Amino acid sequence: MIRVAYAKHSDPGMAVRSCAAALGPGRPEMLLVFCGGKHDPFVVRSALRQAFGPVPVYGGSAAGAVAREGFGYSGFELGIIAFHDPAVTPRCATTRELLPDERAGGAALGMRVAELANADDVVLLFFDSVAQASPLRLHPASVIVDGFHAGFGRRPVCLIGGGLLTDMNLAGGWVFDGEEVVKHAAVALVFPSSVRAETAVMHGCRPVSTFMEITRIDGAEVYELDGRPALTVIERMLGLPLGGSRGHELTLTATLGEKQGDPFAPYDENAYVNRLILRANPETGSVTLFEQDFAHGTRVQIMSRDNSLMLESVRRGVEEINRAVARTDALFGLYIDCAGRGSARSGAPVEEAALVQMGLDPGVPLLGFYSGVEIAPFAEGRSKPLDWTGVLTVLRRRA
């Protein structure tokens, strides 16, 4: 049995008590908790201990949460999934070693998960997205996931997850790793082989340029596109100069997308790996991406967010999931939603989370959180980190 609860209150103790009351009696085997970033995590941890006893708690900060009862990104939300049935309770592996080397941290986690998981098992991965708040440096998901796959080995795994943030401004992040509140950590929840996942990745970007080649790049820093300063190329597209605080606005405006497969095949949102632009750097003429997985020679397109496309994509994705889980023993739905898709940031006239909240089969308990990056199986292959997506996954018992 799995129960889900959601509350919103500026007093973390009150929020926890409210969730505990909604979850009802009985001590769960484990809690998966997503906690609004304005709450003091230590107070929340202590309140959870008081309400539930010595139950292991995994999860961490979230820019907001989504549930049947409501959703929001004020920072005072609290969402809890309580696992009561040992048959569907995941086993957990953790690492606190992201700061010195994200790849090594990811690899260590992958190796621990490999000891717990069978082929094709469902693994939920959550990690602290922010390495350093000022100047801002992220823990790149692409490096962590790459390390994870390296550590895990060649067996297939259904890896789904998200980066944990305290708010939409990327001010911080932290993790509940079963024991404590920690920074620079990642947790992996390995579900029993009897559990399967149905996943839909919802997008919302479309290309607005021809293909361009990255001709100079260093990590996440893209210096040149087709031999010209990357920032100049993007500024020309936008028709406005970027710099100072406006550099931050770029995050909202354009992304760089790499099309997988046949580059000249008709547009398919699922064919693109999008990378958000973290900031523009007028001094170097470069842009900093959220991830480091593009390389010299990668052919990219400038992508525009399209709110109506985003909403269409959500409607389509939710329908797809409803069809997939119909007449199955669904355990719960988890919505990992890029924080930038909230209408306060995207400018969408409708909250796309509301479409998930209302559209997903009412018989499926739902919890979601606003994330920094989303991880999901990509193009029938290994899981990849994705930007500007909503990943809706419903865990169900194997038929």
Partner 1 sequence: MSDGAQDIMIGQLERELAYYRRECNDLGARLLRLQEEQSQTFREARRSRTVAKLIREAYRLADGELTPGEIGTPMLEMIIENALCDGAALLEEDGESFRISHAIGVGVEVPSHPISIPSPPEFFFTTARTPIEPLAYELTSILRLPYVLWAYDKPTGRALILGNRSESNVSRPFEAGDQELIEGALSVYIDIMLRKQAEMELRGAKSAAERASAARARFLATLTHELRTPLNAIVGYSEMMAPGSRYDPSPADRGRYTEMILDAAHYLLKLADGILDYSYLEQVLPSLRPEWLQADKVIANTVAVAAGESRSREVAIAATEVDPALELCIDPVRFRQVLHNLLGNAVKFSPAGSIVEVITACATGGGVTVTVRDTGAGMRPEDIPRALEPFQQLDHNAVRSFGGAGLGLPIAKRLVEAHGGELLIESQPGLGTSATVSLPPARVRLRRED
- Residues in the site for partner 1, rule: CB under 8 A? 8-11, 37-38, 72-76, 166-169, 171, 207-210, 236-239, 244-245, 248-249, 251-254, 302, 304-307, 343-349
**Rounded Cα gap, residues 392 and 319, in angstroms:** 11
**Rounded Cα gap, residues 278 and 178, in angstroms:** 31
Give whichever of 271 and 331 is closer to partner 1, judged by the CB atom.
Answer: 271
Give whichever of 142 and 255 is closer to partner 1, judged by the CB atom.
Answer: 255
- We find the least distance from the C-beta atom of residue 245 to partner 1, in angstroms, to be 5
Angle, in degrees to the nearest 10, between helices 352-359 and 307-325 = 20
For 43, phi then psi, to 5°, come to -65, -40
**Rounded Cα gap, residues 79 and 65, in angstroms:** 6
- We find the least distance from the C-beta atom of residue 208 to partner 1, in angstroms, to be 3
- We find the least distance from the C-beta atom of residue 154 to partner 1, in angstroms, to be 40
For 308, phi then psi, to 5°, come to -70, -35
Angle, in degrees to the nearest 10, between helices 141-152 and 102-116 = 40
- We find the least distance from the C-beta atom of residue 33 to partner 1, in angstroms, to be 18
Give whichever of 97 and 312 is closer to partner 1, judged by the CB atom.
Answer: 312
- We find the least distance from the C-beta atom of residue 163 to partner 1, in angstroms, to be 18
Give whichever of 207 and 359 is closer to partner 1, judged by the CB atom.
Answer: 207
**Rounded Cα gap, residues 284 and 329, in angstroms:** 54
Give whichever of 110 and 368 is closer to partner 1, judged by the CB atom.
Answer: 368
* 39 in Cβ contact with 15 (< 8 Å): yes
Give whichever of 307 and 328 is closer to partner 1, judged by the CB atom.
Answer: 307
Q: Which residue has the tokens 């999931």?
A: 321
- We find the least distance from the C-beta atom of residue 278 to partner 1, in angstroms, to be 12
Give whichever of 232 and 322 is closer to partner 1, judged by the CB atom.
Answer: 232
DSSP string, 191-238: --TTEEEEEEEE--EEE-S--EEEEEEETTEEEEETTEEHHHHHHHHH
Beta bridge partners of 126: 162, 187
- We find the least distance from the C-beta atom of residue 351 to partner 1, in angstroms, to be 11
Q: Which residue has the tokens 């996942």?
A: 197
